[in-house]
A and B are shown apart, each in its own frame.
Chain A
Amino acid sequence: MASPSTRGQRRTAALLLSPFLGLFAVVTLAPLAYAGWLSLFTTRTSGLGFGGTESVFAGWDNYVHALSDPEFRDGFLVIAAYCAVYIPLMIGGALALALLLDTGLAKARSFFQLALFLPHAVPGLIAALIWVYLYTPGLSPVIDLLASGGLDINFLSADNAVFSAANIAVWEWTGYNMVIFYAALQAVPRETLDAAKVDGAGALRTALSIKVPMIRPAVALSVLFTVIGSIQLFTEPKVIYNASSAIGSSFTPNMYVQTAAFQNNDFGLAAAASLLIALFAAVLSFAVTRFSRRGSKS
């Protein structure tokens, strides 16, 4: 390669990359750094509370405070419970629906694809508004229906709030992931499937032993994005929170952060907690990526 061409490439790369990288630095890196700095300070009221507030260096105190605060830790337990319900149901459901479509047996396949995908076009907040109505006793036709079948459920109780939030997410994301899995299934080589048939594998066996393993990378990627999304859980419980006295203002880690910042004006704590959430998400997604990569190699 001649050097003028290399120089041209470098110059063009700088030109093409600078808008993204510049904004990335402003919108992601700088806030992270600033939050990191702020998280090391705490505000104290000086004197008897008349003299205003001052910022005091606190070292790791805010992190220790957050990590030892049962409310913050419980938020992660809520997320864990939520993931335990939501991820198997949503990924399993999306996979099953994609496999059903892929049997080629169903009529009106494109209609089903579109109808199942449709909830994804609804913003999360609106989905939550709709479902909270369907969860509200006295208003909900669903509750009436279940009650007439002898089933009394309070969707908004503290115990059920996790499931109610998970259901909203299942509703929103199953069809989306189904489309991804279905597309991946169509890329499975026909010869492999024919070979399985010759070997006498039934449709169920083919699905579980051949199709599912072959689209494993797509499933792993979906799980990764679902995990990252779950850690951010905020909108659905926030909307449920308004309708129900059963869940607290620190139900999820993000709600904890919001409460710390805007109800208690403890920005040092909010910054520390935010960074812990971001760190947790990054570590977890790194682990999921690592795990799925090792799995697909073996």
Chain B
Amino acid sequence: MTRIEVRKPGLSTTVQDGGRSGYYHLGIPPSGALDQYSLTCANALVGNPDGAAALEIVYMGPELVFTGPATLAVAGATIAPKVNGSAVPVWESFDVAEGDVLAFDYLKAGARAYLAVSGGIDVPEKLGSRATYALGALGGLDGRPLAEGDVLPVGSGTGRAGLVVPEDLRPSLAKDVEVRVVMGLYDHRLTDRGRATFLDTTWTLTPVADRIGFRYTGGELETVDREPPFGAGQDPSNIVDSPYPIGSIQVPGGVEPIVLHRDAVSGGGYMMVATVISGDLDVVAQSAPRTRTRFVAVDLETALSLRAERKDRLARMHSALER
């Protein structure tokens, strides 16, 4: 059976999959690939099911040695892979043989790349998923990012080299992005002006951007004056600690909105003013620090039709690979 030896771990490489469901009420978030669209593409390229476990590579790639043959694919951020020093394409499946070394060039666009291997990364499932939740030391490889000397088991599967995701079905990885949100949750705690500021500001992603949350800077949101309710705390942005939807945008102190992502804290005491639609969490995931971001309000019906469009794109991607 092929295994993957970790010669260099990269910045923060983790095993991620489609995520785990059903434990958020205990503070255990879904985890899984932040960019689920790219994960699905990488898996499709190597013949895996959509949510199979792959490696999520952030900003800086690892150096890996394969103990046997495997079919691989890299999708998501543009971080050119090299096999034994020679460049191989992204968004395209390729083969490696026993002893081959996979390394990565520097990051050119986006933030997170997904390395899928035919058969999937075969670490044990925890609570129904192989996804790493590092804060809770759960899943993945011993509940943590990869370290030098780790050995990853690979499941059995057969892939085919030379499959390509067509360019028009790849994400744009732009430096200026629009992220669609549904307003609500506690947005009534903002004044009309505060709400307008939220939607009219071009926000800049700060370096505080990880699997838990993405923090933006660029404006200050005016909040409604009030007598704080019992248990909420004194700051106007405080609420009685409540659950946080994945994708919800909290605004501590009315400044620096934070988009909560798939390793989010499950609840807390800051008002949330909107929620990123499920598909656009992929756009947030590919934002590197300094990405300029506009939050665009859509209603629920629009969010549902955008969801259907994304499903349709994935269906077209699958059928393009079957040809």
A and B bind:
no
Residues of A within 8 A of B (CB): none
